[in-house]
Amino acid sequence: SRHPLHSRWVFWFLKGDRTMDWEDCLRKVTSFDSIEGFWSVANHFIQPSGLSWGSDFYVFREGIKPMWEDEQNVKGGRWLVMVDKHKRQQLLDHYWMEMLLALVGEQFGQDGEEICGAVVNIRQKGDKVALWTRDAMKDAVNYRIGQVLYKALNQKDNVMRYEVHKDSSVRTGSMVKPRIVLSTASQN
Ligand code: M7G
């Protein structure tokens, strides 16, 4: 039988190409609205570690474009998990899969409605996975979402940061000042 999800999710791919506008590099690939559909997508596409540098995967709720400018993202932010360069072999594909399973498996309860989508960025300087939420000012909601993600990705001893998209989009230096920080210490 078919196990429907609460939302339909769209899977996007971005192949980094500095000679093109960023948005023109973004392609809708497919969508799914059941657990079975999710697995056929997950089994069909190469894992993040197989992508070339500069590529991204996005899984976003239908109707939300995976970009800061979308009205559902414009006031939002992201929980960011930076993948240790020396551990990408063990961690990258695992993080991405755990993040997607948490997302489509409704592991965030009511707060799940605040989540717009998931992102993985393949970067030579260090890969990133992130969960985008709708409202960067809803600290309590974002904190709870962060805690679920922290556990799902077994972030013990790592620091997870919540960054406001408005700050990322006007970034000049390399780091954005996070709005929330989660670490093992803040879990206790
Ligand atoms: P990134 O891919 O988020 O991270 O941003 P990176 O710095 O590790 O590569 C790289 C660049 O892509 C940004 O400086 C923007 O030029 C462009 N870019 C990324 N995002 C997520 C967006 C977006 O949502 N909208 C627009 N217009 N450009 C974006």
Q: Which residue lies with its CA nearest to atom 24 of ligand 1?
A: 67
CA of 187 to the centre of ligand 1 (A): 31
pLDDT digits (tens, 9 = 90+) for 104-121: 998 999 999 999 999 999
Q: Is residue 83 within 8 Å of 129, Cβ to Cβ?
A: yes
Residue 32 has pLDDT above 70, yes or no: yes
CA of 163 to the centre of ligand 1 (A): 14
Name the residue among 178, 77, 176, 83 with its Cα closest to residue 135.
Answer: 77
The DSSP bridge pattern shows strands 56-61 and 128-133 to be unpaired
* 55 ligand 1 Cβ < 6 A: no
187 SS3 class:
helix
In single-letter form, the type of residue at position 143 comes to: Y
pLDDT for the residue 187: 65
pLDDT for the residue 26: 97
Q: What mean pLDDT comes out for the span 53-68?
A: 98
pLDDT for the residue 125: 94
In this predicted complex, what is the ipTM? 0.98
Judge if pTM exceeds 0.90. Answer: yes
Q: Tokens for 109? A: 């309860």
CA of 4 to the centre of ligand 1 (A): 32
pLDDT for the residue 185: 78
Give the separation between CA 100 and CA 61, rounded to whole angstroms: 12
* 74 ligand 1 Cβ < 6 A: no
In percent, how much of the chain has pLDDT > 90?
A: 86
